[in-house]
Chains A and B, each alone.
Chain A
Amino acid sequence: MLKTNKVKKIMIVDDNEFDCYITSKIINNLDASVDIMEFNSSVIAIQYLEDFQNSPEKLPDLIFLDIYMPIFDGFDFIEKFNTFSNFIKSHTKICILSTTVDDLYIHRARVNDSVLFASKPITKEFIQSFIV
């Protein structure tokens, strides 16, 4: 689905520091050259994207997005993201990363075709489909 360009810059948005650490570590263990931005706050992350929505050098190619987060959850995040410039929307891909146990959330996440979906912890194979 995303084979065109190698992903070089990844943003991880997850309020759980441990989950954030694991995701980042798995990616860098496979390819240390991938630049990773970790955000424990979804509010700060979306602010960052809003500020730099037209600056390609600042933007991630891929966002791993957690769903259950306080104040501003993953679905709020996607909603807000969709109001941004067309540039960022074509440049940055979102992948929901969740430990969700409730099918409803999976359905809700899958409704949007442009959004990818994976379960935690991410697998080598899944990462490799982006970075190789």
Chain B
Amino acid sequence: MRLIKALIIDSNADIINQLTKFAEENSVIIDICGASNSLEEGIELVKTYKPELLFLDPTDANLNSFVLMKELDFNIPKFIFITDDESKAYQGYKYNAVDFQKKPLDYNELIISIYKVIKLIEMEISFQNQKVNQIKGVNFEANDTGFIAISSSDKIELIKLEDIVYCKAEGKYTEFVLSNKQKILSSKNLGEFHTILYSTYFFRIHHSYVVNIKQILKITKKDGLYCEFGNGISLPVAKRRQEEFVKFLKL
């Protein structure tokens, strides 16, 4: 489950206590990493913790400090306004607050606010991924000749992308293993090819391997993931790439 990192900007001790207690009760979805009396004082905390959510008392001073948010070098956090002053709802819209809570806080209302925040973040991520994939797809099609040129000291070989089973890093060199068992050594390192092979059916499963998904016969799960190809070749998927790999396969 996604854990939301939150920060409280409110000078009211009761609100801070209630929110802290709420976070303790719901520690699987929310973690409060700090609290500050004002946005001006709290901006350093924001920079340190990079929270995804601010519970904010929209006082005039805090709203005036909003310009500070422009200095952030990461995604601006989402806001939940907490105030009894309903006229602040107007600013809530202006500043894209996700929700607006009045005092006293109601835990069920709060949990729905958190729901909205998480759904919004998930939607943004999924929209971004969709865009990135679109662009990747277009770039790939534009570059896609279906061939790759591999130069070694004495010749340049042209091989069909679909014939590549996998590429292996060999120090400064890269070894291409083809479906006809032929091996070709290139004098460029794997990282340089990774950009060329960055396509819909190549994936870097390991620091040393980029594999052609179309050549995989099956993936076994025993002490981690292994990709099995023809010829009895089996290659490990690095632990930290497993999650991304599973996503890549759209499992």
A residues with a Cβ closer than 8 A to B are 17-18, 21-22, 25-26, 29-30, 99, 120-121, 124
Contact of A18 among B1, B107, B108, B112 (CB under 8 A): B1
Contact with A along B9-29 (1 / 0, CB 8 A): 000000000000000001011
Can you list 23 A-B contacts (CB < 8 A)? A17-B1, A18-B2, A18-B29, A18-B118, A21-B1, A21-B28, A21-B29, A22-B111, A22-B112, A22-B114, A25-B26, A25-B111, A26-B108, A26-B111, A26-B112, A29-B107, A29-B108, A29-B111, A99-B119, A121-B111, A121-B112, A121-B115, A124-B108
Q: Which 4 A/B pairs are nearest by Cβ-Cβ distance?
A: A121-B115, A29-B108, A17-B1, A18-B1
A-B interface contact total, Cβ < 8 Å: 27
User: Considering the complex, which residues of chain B in the window 75-123 have a beta carbon less than 8 Å from any beta carbon of chain A?
Assistant: 107-108, 111-112, 114-115, 118-119
**Contact residues of A: prevailing secondary structure:** helix
How far is B29's CA from A26's CA once the two chains are assembled, in angstroms? 14
Chain B: minimal CB distance from A10 (Å): 16
Known contacts A29-B107, A124-B108; is A22 also within 8 Å of B115 by CB? Answer: yes
Chain B residues in 8 Å Cβ range of A99: 119
How far is B208's CA from A35's CA once the two chains are assembled, in angstroms? 51
Chain B: minimal CB distance from A32 (Å): 12
Interface residues on B, range: 10 to 19
How far is B118's CA from A18's CA once the two chains are assembled, in angstroms? 9
Chain B residues in 8 Å Cβ range of A30: 108
Nearest chain A residue, comparing its CB with the CB of B2: A18
How far is B164's CA from A7's CA once the two chains are assembled, in angstroms? 60
How far is B29's CA from A59's CA once the two chains are assembled, in angstroms? 29
Greatest chain B CB density within 10 A among A17, A22, A26, A99 is at A22
User: Considering the complex, which residues of chain B in the window 28-43 have a beta carbon less than 8 Å from any beta carbon of chain A?
Assistant: 28-29
Chain B: minimal CB distance from A21 (Å): 7
How far is B108's CA from A124's CA once the two chains are assembled, in angstroms? 8
Nearest chain B residue, comparing its CB with the CB of A29: B108
How far is B115's CA from A8's CA once the two chains are assembled, in angstroms? 25
How far is B1's CA from A18's CA once the two chains are assembled, in angstroms? 6
Nearest chain B residue, comparing its CB with the CB of A124: B108
Chain A: minimal CB distance from B27 (Å): 11
Chain A: minimal CB distance from B146 (Å): 34
How far is B29's CA from A30's CA once the two chains are assembled, in angstroms? 19
Chain B residues in 8 Å Cβ range of A22: 111-112, 114-115
How far is B116's CA from A120's CA once the two chains are assembled, in angstroms? 10
Greatest chain B CB density within 10 A among A25, A99, A124 is at A25
Nearest chain B residue, comparing its CB with the CB of A30: B108
How far is B112's CA from A30's CA once the two chains are assembled, in angstroms? 14
Chain A: minimal CB distance from B123 (Å): 10
How far is B26's CA from A99's CA once the two chains are assembled, in angstroms? 22
Chain A: minimal CB distance from B185 (Å): 43
Chain B: minimal CB distance from A124 (Å): 6
